[in-house]
Amino acid sequence: MNLIIERNHFDGLSGAIEDIRERNLYPTTYATDHATAASPHWHNEEVLAYLVKGKTYFLDAEGHKHQVEAGDLVTVPARTLHAEGDINEPVVMLIGLAEAVPMDQFLAQRDPAELHG
């Protein structure tokens, strides 16, 4: 599987919350004004990232850069290699998960070598 980017999928915070509610997801918030790009990794869970504010990018399994901005929804299927990009401005994402995950396991970044092992 690969990243699924849905451009202009929702309008503002209320639109993201409505979509999360309709999909029956568990939400959490990620907010920052600066972050260094993550190393390639994967998660056990499917992750839906609703970009509510700002701009950033995601790298897919082939290393292609996908620019995203407010209103875009990024779906990262379970066990899909990817990386979140640099953040150099205020960014707010709502993260939706199908199941509530304990904080010590929440979005644990798995090593790419384990993906095919």
Residue 77 in tokens: 């299927």
pLDDT at 22 over 90: yes
Report pLDDT for 111: 84
Instruction: Name the percent of the chain lying above pLDDT 70.
Output: 96
Residue-wise pLDDT tens digits, 26-60: 999 999 999 999 999 998 889 999 999 999 999 99
Report pLDDT for 10: 98
68 residue type, one letter: V
Query: Residue ranges per domain, the chain?
Result: 4-101
66 Cβ neighbours under 8 A, 6+ residues apart: 3, 5, 57, 58, 59, 60, 74
Q: What is the CATH number of domain 4-101?
A: 2.60.120.10
Average pLDDT of the residues of the chain: 93
